[in-house]
């Protein structure tokens, strides 16, 4: 048995429909999974009546008025009936065997508390000629065909963020592995995306809480989804903004778990570092260089935030 938690805020109707259609095509028996849709304060509230007939029969639609992806995810987890949960974003299309594979793999690996697989980009328009794969964190990843497990024992010996860690899109986890995370939602600077406000690294926080709770972290390539990428997310402005926010919040999350490899820096030092990075990245050359520069700016912002938190 498995639960799908699908948080959404002002979803694009066409992409949302494709996501729901992908769920309805799952090869797992209908009685072996449930769907929890969390409406996170959409401007036009989602209603059961607005959903396709097949979805109406099986959806548990709940509302989370507190804006923020982490709060929506928490509400979905609390509403889920099963111990094993999958996060599906409102622009994801799960492979038809995704849920069946998730149940099989988690059953065979009882100490894996959090896992992920492949999130393959499906561009809805041709990317700009200058775009490069991996230039910015777009919720996509593919680490190949080999299974990989990072154990809690490895984490305790080598305090670092694991290789091939899952991202929020398609994350599979056990409720029990997230008990400590649930207690900390809302207490940190990390809320994940809030409406149009870019915030990130909530999924990184969940991974680290699972490892600290004694569970393993896995990459299973059998868990595959398509991530729908509209043209708006390939614009230089968006890629620069999401890169900056992601690196800023990643630094903060690592520090929350006391494994941050970067030192704190002052606001004065920040200005000098930003200027030096502009030169090192040759940011005047074009969008690729400017986006990479914004990633480093985000890291510096995170390190400044650590100083401010220390003063508080």
User: Could you give the dihedral angle defined by the CA atoms of residues 263, 266, 272 and 274, in that order, rounded to the nearest 10 degrees?
Assistant: 70
Confidence at residue 192, expressed as pLDDT on a 0 to 100 scale: 61
Structure tokens at 125: 């328009």
Rounded Cα distance between 181 and 100, Å, is: 26
Are 185 and 74 in contact by the 8 Å Cβ rule? The answer is yes
pLDDT beneath 50, residues of the chain: 311-312
Spatial distance between the Cα atoms of 277 and 246, rounded to a whole number of angstroms: 17
The token duo for 13 is: 């109707």
Q: What confidence score (pLDDT) does residue 312 get?
A: 46
pTM, to two decimals: 0.94
**Which residue segments constitute the domains of the chain, with CATH numbers given?**
2-229 (3.90.550.10), 238-311 (no CATH)
The reported pLDDT for the residue numbered 189 is 61
pLDDT value, residue 198: 60
Helical axes 202-212 vs 69-79, angle rounded to 10°: 50
Which pLDDT value is given to residue 94? 98
CA distances from 195 to 87, 89, 285, 294 (A): 18, 14, 32, 21
pLDDT at residue 200, as a whole number: 73
pLDDT tens-place string over residues 154-192: 999 999 999 999 999 999 999 999 999 999 886 666 656
Closest CA to 215 of 116, 118, 110, 117: 110
DSSP state of 302: H
What pLDDT, on the 0 to 100 scale, is given for residue 201? 86
Please report the pLDDT score of residue 90 as a whole number. 95
Contact 204, 253 (CB under 8 A): yes
Tell me which DSSP letter residue 82 carries: S
Instruction: Tell me what pLDDT residue 196 has.
Output: 53
Q: Which pLDDT score is estimated for 131?
A: 96
Selection from 87, 74, 75 nearest residue 4 by Cα: 87
How far apart, in Å, are the Cα atoms of 285 and each of 130, 173, 235, 278, 288? 12, 43, 17, 10, 8
Q: Answer positive or negative: Cα dihedral of 6, 105, 220, 257.
A: positive
* pLDDT tens column, 125-142: 999 999 999 999 999 999
Structure tokens at 90: 């409102």
Q: Give every CB contact of residue 14 below 8 A, 6+ residues apart in sequence.
A: none
């Amino acid at each position: 048995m498995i639960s799908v938690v699908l948080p959404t805020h002002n979803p694009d109707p066409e992409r949302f429909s494709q996501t729901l259609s992908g769920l309805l095509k799952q090869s797992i028996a209908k009685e072996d999974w449930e769907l929890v849709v969390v409406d996170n304060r959409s401007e036009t509230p989602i209603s059961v009546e607005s959903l396709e007939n097949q979805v109406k029969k099986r959806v548990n639609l709940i509302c989370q008025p507190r804006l923020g992806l982490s709060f929506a995810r928490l509400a979905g987890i609390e509403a889920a009936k099963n111990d094993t949960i999958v996060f599906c974003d409102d622009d994801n299309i799960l492979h038809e065997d995704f849920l069946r594979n998730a149940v099989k793999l988690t059953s065979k690996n009882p100490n894996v508390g959090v896992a992920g697989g492949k999130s393959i980009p499906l561009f809805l328009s041709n990317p700009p000629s200058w775009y490069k794969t991996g230039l910015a964190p777009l919720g996509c990843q593919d680490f190949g065909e080999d299974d990989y497990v990072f154990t809690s024992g490895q984490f305790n010996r080598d305090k670092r963020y694991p290789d091939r860690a899952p991202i929020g899109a398609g994350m599979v986890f056990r409720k029990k592995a997230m008990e400590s995370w649930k207690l900390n939602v809302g207490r940190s600077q990390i809320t994940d995306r809030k409406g149009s406000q870019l915030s990130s690294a909530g999924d990184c926080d969940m991974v680290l809480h699972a490892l600290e709770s004694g569970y393993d972290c896995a990459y299973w390539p059998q868990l595959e989804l398509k991530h729908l990428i509209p043209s708006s997310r390939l614009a230089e402005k968006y890629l620069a903004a999401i890169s900056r926010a992601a690196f800023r919040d990643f630094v903060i999350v690592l520090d929350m778990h006391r494994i941050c490899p970067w030192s704190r820096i002052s606001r004065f030092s920040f200005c000098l570092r930003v200027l030096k990075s502009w030169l090192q990245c040759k940011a005047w050359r074009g969008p690729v260089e400017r986006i990479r520069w914004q990633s480093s700016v985000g890291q510096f912002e995170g390190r400044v935030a650590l100083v401010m938190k220390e003063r508080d």
